[in-house]
Amino acid sequence: MGGVGGEAKGGHGEALGNGERLKVSHGKWIERGWLRWCKDVLEGVYKSGAFEHEKCPKSKNSSEMPETITSRDAARFPIVASCTLLGLYLFFKIFSQEYINLLLSMYFFVLGILALSHTISPMMNRFFPANFPNKQYQLLFTQGSGESKEEIVNYEFDTKDLVCLALSSVVGVWYLLRKHWIANNLFGLAFSLNGVELLHLNNVSTGCILLGGLFIYDVFWVFGTNVMVTVAKSFEAPIKLVFPQDLLEKGLDADNFAMLGLGDIVIPGIFIALLLRFDISLKKNTHTYFYISFVAYIFGLGLTIFIMHIFKHAQPALLYLVPACIGFPLLVALAKGEVTEMFSYEESSTPKEAAGASKEEPTEASKKEK
């Protein structure tokens, strides 16, 4: 799902997995970029953990409810990811790279605007004056009629959301025209935060299945074939965070970047978020497993960079992140005698699922009455 290594010029370069590869030089800049990546994980995790307390009471849109990943989904994910990767590889071999990237740019242009708008909306609300003329809107698409009517899209928004959408559109146009690294990072941050916030693992076993499967996926496609590297070199999309190593020399026109794929943020991030919710469920007013797993993430990322420096070769980041993020919390659980509690913890259904269940119950009851 991502790797570390390689040099990039002008926003391109060798890449691994769900993102790109990271060339480490100018240690102080890498350290700052590394800390920023960790901060991104932390922000997404805390937003995700908030769902355990609030269950989205302020969310009016079903699209903003977290989507739960089951063990079956986790087991299929590496297979689907491999098929997608191989499909992209064949596409780049058969069709013109220019046209494929044009199509991908338009796709991520739309997704990036929506993701960035959703991300900045809570922050922007603080800057609107109290007398701002805020009107409510609703976008509703239904299918069928009468009792068989089914909602396809039901999205409520207001004038403030439209302002955020307009600001995000400016960033989108900037990215589409210039592919500037700042615009890339804004979209990448938005994708990461939304991914960690809106994707939930239902239990620790599912998390281990997902991380274990992607561990094998990452190692195989990085070391076993040239498919991942070929796709990543050809793929132009905001699926990585970049940090300019020559920022002091060239300013905003920097073109020598350190990179980290979004998969190396989101995948460990949703597992760390699960451990945060597990901490909350213990009701001990401590976040032991969250802190341990987050430290493990920092350790794994640092180890990736260290190994790459030693062997002068690109490394798949999940090769080091997965053992760290699973191993550290498991050792703590063994020491505290809470392994059973950890693996028996099952997250309750999300509001989205609960709402669906409540709709089905009256239907079944009405059938019995008839």
The catalytic site residues sit at: 218, 264
Closest CA to 312 of 1, 7, 36, 35: 7
Residue 335 host element (H or E): helix 318-336
Cα dist. 62→56, 93, 141, 142, 293 in Å? 10, 39, 13, 14, 30
Name 327's Cβ contacts closer than 8 Å, sequence gap at least 6: 296
Determine contact, residues 14/21, Cβ cutoff 8 Å: yes
Backbone angles phi, psi at 154, to 5 degrees: -140, 95
* C-alpha Rg value of the chain to the nearest Å: 22
Both ends of the chain: CA-CA distance in Å? 52
Closest CA to 291 of 42, 30, 59: 42
Closest CA to 17 of 304, 261, 274, 356: 261
Q: What angle do CA 163, 165, 170 make, to 5 degrees?
A: 100
Closest CA to 239 of 61, 7, 59, 19: 19
Facing residues of 203 across strands?
Answer: 346
Backbone angles phi, psi at 348, to 5 degrees: -65, 165
Determine contact, residues 23/12, Cβ cutoff 8 Å: no
Could you tell me whether strands 199-201 and 67-69 are parallel, antiparallel, or unpaired per DSSP bridges? parallel
